[in-house]
Amino acid sequence: MTELTHLDPSGRARMVDVGAKPVSERRAVARAVVRVSPETAAKVAAGDAPKGDVLGVARIAGIQAAKRTAELIPLCHPLPLTFVGVEGSVDPDTGSIVLTAEARTTGQTGVEMEAMTAASVAALTVYDMVKGIERGAEITETVLLEKSGGRSGHWTRPPA
């Protein structure tokens, strides 16, 4: 792909017309990482954070966010999502909290933005829930790991 699809011939932003595209199964997986101290990570892993079940709340926030992606990203198509899942894992030794989101639909456009929005909002929720005990928490990445379906087929992020 050599041109930006969200620009019309005059260079103005536009929503892409996907009406002529064939319907296919679409899937995307994204990851966001929150870095905290080992002490904070241990509290999150044990469920002992002052605000409660950090990963549980982040999971629900991510799912909710995926369903609202088209309201947040101006040129994103509203999609009938068939599945959204968000999982969190904690490594107390390294102080990393990893949020992985998967989105699926059957449609004419992909679900990359839904998966990335879910992972991002899950990470923001973790930040919100730990900021009282650690102001230095940081979200270090949000990346697409994999997508499948549509004209471009299957893509997986190469190993770092």
User: CA–CA separation, 74 vs 13, rounded Å?
Assistant: 10
- Spell out the residues 6+ positions from residue 88 whose beta carbon is closer than 8 angstroms to its own: 54, 55, 58, 59, 97, 98, 99, 100, 122, 126
Nearest to 131 by CA among 34, 47, 57, 66: 34
Please tell me whether residue 84 adopts helix, strand or coil conformation: strand
State yes or no: is 8 an active-site residue: no
For the annotated catalytic residues, the residue numbers are 128
